[in-house]
Amino acid sequence: MKILVAVKRVIDYNVQIRVKEDNSGVVTDNVKMSTNPPDDNAIEEAVKIKEAGKAKEVVAVSVGEEKAQETVRKALAVGADRGILVKVDGVIEPLAVSKILKKIVEKEKPDLVFMGKQAIDDDCNQTGQMLAALLNWPQATFASKIEVKEKTLEVTREVDEGLETIEVNVPAIVTCDLRLNEPRYASLPNIMKAKKKPIEQISAGDLGVDVKSRIEQIKVEEPPKRKAGIKVASVEELVQKLKNEAKVI
């Protein structure tokens, strides 16, 4: 079994996001970048399946600019066997990413595709579902537990009502939740070994995928600051303010 894992380079989750002065986007210059957190869970699960003897190869793929190679290297340092970087400049939308990944899947012919449930930068939560539609493959989203069987996967999903367990045929697309596992840290020896592992670089243009944006971003603004709360002396005063001032009852 071969597992393809999609990883994305995003602004580190510890960084305080700042909006550009012209409101055209957020500041990314000289800002710490890292792997999208749910993608770390995806690569960890793929490596665990390989270590259990149920997969022979784990391939990490990222779509982005040249610096996204760092994200692929991190995946290699925690256990992926080789990497692929599809080079694209600028912002790329989920549909274009899905079309690129479809081309990579057709080239690599994996049995499973893992990725994070969503990216923390755009929060779109679309790429996995779009890829499943383009490939006409089964999908299991928001996975918090994965059990590999002979020709199927048993996946426990995080849903609004609690947990849902489904079984999907292989090949399949799985999007991973943060509760799926605890990603390991890359040791120094493995980081050094990762530098020798191969990363294939491909241009999106060579794949014949149109990455032109279909959505126009007009303006980016910080959310309005919340007003300070107040204390009330009684339940009657609270009800009066909720009714006459807040107008929520």
- Give the confidence band of 3 by pLDDT, cuts at 50, 70, 90: very high
Is the pLDDT confidence value at 104 over 90?
yes
DSSP sequence for 62-86:
EEESGGGHHHHHHHHHTT-SEEEEE
Q: So what's the pLDDT on residue 147? A: 93
> For residue 183, is pLDDT > 90?
yes
Encoded tokens for 144: 């918090």
Residue whose token pair is 């071969």: 2
pLDDT confidence band for 146 (50 / 70 / 90): very high
Lowest mean pLDDT among 72-86, 139-153, 223-237: 223-237
Comparison of pLDDT for 28 and 63, the residue scoring more: 63
Q: What is the mean pLDDT of residues 32-48?
A: 94
Asked if 7 contacts 42 with a C-beta cutoff of 8 angstroms, the reply is: yes
Q: pLDDT, tens digit, for every residue of 67-89?
A: 999 999 999 999 999 999 999 98
Percent over 70 (pLDDT), the chain: 100
- Fold for the domain defined by 2-224: Rossmann fold (3.40.50)
Model pLDDT, residue 150: 84
Q: Reply yes or no on whether the pLDDT at 24 is more than 90.
A: no
What is the chain's mean pLDDT, rounded?
Answer: 91
Alpha-carbon distance of 234 to 239, in angstroms, equals 9
Residue 139 in this model has a pLDDT that exceeds 90: yes
Domain boundaries, the chain: 2-224
The pTM of the full predicted model, rounded to 2 decimals, is 0.83
